[in-house]
Structure 1
Amino acid sequence: MSAEAAAGRPADVPEGTARSASTDPGGRPEVTRGVARPEGGGRAAGGDAPAPVRQWPIIAVIAGAVIGLVVTATGQFRAGTILIGASLLLGAGLRWAVTAVGMLAVRSRFTDVITYGILGAAIILLGMMAQPDPLIRIPFLEDIIHFSVR
């Protein structure tokens, strides 16, 4: 056995040279083999179920958003916008309550719930404030809009 092998260093690496932890024994960079699934990213149903059944949480959220877009396109802006926001809130609730949500899990559970919840609430709030005849009035937001439009 050579002195380099006894020291745990390949013969082609000079003595005193630090070896990077991200290289394989041949000196090439390591290749990423895969990415860990987000927490809860497993199937929502067993592997023997058809694909739509395994991914029912994301299908429910997408279906709600599509229905909201269709309602908006037919001329009911406020109702469609509220449906879109409600489907995002449904996604937040499913991500929080269901352990395995399949493709609905994008990031950590905490981040997904906060993101879906804030976006859903903001879309509903903006839909309710839409002109003409808003359902709710928030004075400081109206002042900001009037100030910025001038």
Structure 2
Amino acid sequence: MSGDLGPGGRPAVTTSTARPEGGGRTAPGSSPAPARQWPILLVISGAVIGLVVTAAGAFRAGVVVVGFALLVGGALRWGMQSVGMLAVRSRFTDVITYGILGVAIILLALMAQPDPLIRIPFLEDIIHFSVR
């Protein structure tokens, strides 16, 4: 396969890619697959629970649970050396992405009409401007 060169003398097929920092297994290889990927399963489970609560009629509570699931993902990515498939990019990028999305989802859920629990004037202006 090392002789298969594409245009420009580059390999025709990528033979290896670097895994994200922390992208190793979280449990030994002898463990079953779900045990090796428990961090992402925890975050996905939290998001699914939030979506089920939202579908059951408690919009604000369900969306806040989804936001907290993302914040838990960010905390796991920051605090653990190996998080399996929860590691998508570099540690810094993952933590910032999970954190910003989690906080934004929670803030928007708390600002949702009717009867918002918090008021953030500049965010209200942005939302009203984009909806018009």
TM-score by length of 1: 0.79
Aligned residues: 127
Higher helix content, 1 or 2: 2
Distance, in Å, in 2 between the alignment partners of 1:106 and 1:41 is 8
Identity %: 72
Matched, 1:114 2:96: yes
1:41 pairs, out of 6, 16, 23, with: 23
SS state at 2:88 partner: coil
Question: What corresponds to 1:56 in structure 2?
Answer: 38
Distance, in Å, in 2 between the alignment partners of 1:63 and 1:133 is 29
Structure 2 vs 1, CA of residues 49 and 133 (structure 1 numbering), >3 Å: closer, same or farther?
same
Task: Report the Cα offset of residue 49 of structure 1.
Answer: 0.7
Unaligned runs of 5+ in 2: none
Distance, in Å, in 2 between the alignment partners of 1:48 and 1:63 is 23
Which one has a bigger Cα radius of gyration?
1
* 4+ runs deviating over 6 angstroms: none
Unaligned runs of 5+ in 1: 1-23
Q: Which amino acid aligns with 1:71?
A: V
Over aligned residue pairs, what C-alpha RMSD do you find?
A: 1.7
Structure 2 vs 1, CA of residues 60 and 147 (structure 1 numbering), >3 Å: closer, same or farther?
closer
